[in-house]
């Protein structure tokens, strides 16, 4: 089975946390660092599902981002979770690990702030993206049954 972390020897930057810690750190979009805070557009959410190999409309909650710039410096496309997921699945994590984070009951926080998220590139043009400070999704506990179905389907296709 493919590892959840492609760089097993590197220091983790994302940690599972309790509901209480999650609420303190990430309860509202206003908690996100950076000049701008925005939600991934639906078109990109559907592309994320395709990149991950999961059924359309599996993802239903808002996918928030924050940073000092909202658009790709080269093609001007609005940066979204699509860039984060695509970069992560190419460089660091397995698709199954990302699905568990996005659809799972366990909440996570990332610790890049105030630094920019590393190794991020534009889904459309491939340009390096800097100054994205944080990302989060709201409580996905409703999806726990769905995640089991999706993971089973992903494993069946291999």
Distances (CA, A) of 136 to 75, 76, 98, 103: 24, 22, 12, 12
Query: Where are the chain's structural domains?
Result: 14-157
How far, in Å, CA of 59 to CA of 71, rounded? 23
| Per-residue pLDDT tens listing for the chain (158 residues) | 344 444 444 444 666 767 776 666 555 666 677 788 888 999 999 999 999 999 999 888 788 888 888 999 999 999 999 999 999 999 888 999 888 878 877 666 555 555 677 889 999 999 999 888 777 665 444 344 555 566 667 677 65
How far, in Å, CA of 59 to CA of 84, rounded? 15
**pTM above threshold 0.75:** no
Candidates 127, 111, 136, 122; CA nearest to 47 is 122
């Amino acid at each position: 089975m493919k590892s959840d972390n492609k760089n097993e020897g590197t220091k983790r930057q994302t940690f599972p946390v309790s509901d209480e810690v999650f609420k303190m750190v990430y309860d509202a979009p206003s908690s996100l660092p950076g000049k701008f805070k925005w939600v991934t557009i639906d078109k990109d959410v559907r592309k994320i599902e395709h990149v991950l190999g999961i059924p359309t409309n599996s993802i239903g909650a808002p996918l928030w981002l924050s940073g000092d710039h909202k658009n790709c410096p080269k093609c001007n496309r609005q940066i979204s979770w699509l860039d984060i997921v695509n970069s992560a699945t190419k460089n660091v994590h397995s698709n199954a690990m990302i699905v568990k984070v996005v659809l799972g009951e366990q909440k996570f926080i990332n610790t890049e702030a105030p630094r920019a998220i590393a190794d991020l590139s534009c889904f459309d043009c491939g340009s390096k993206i800097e100054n994205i400070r944080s990302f989060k999704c709201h409580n996905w506990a409703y999806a726990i049954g769905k995640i089991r179905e999706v993971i089973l389907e992903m494993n069946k296709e291999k």
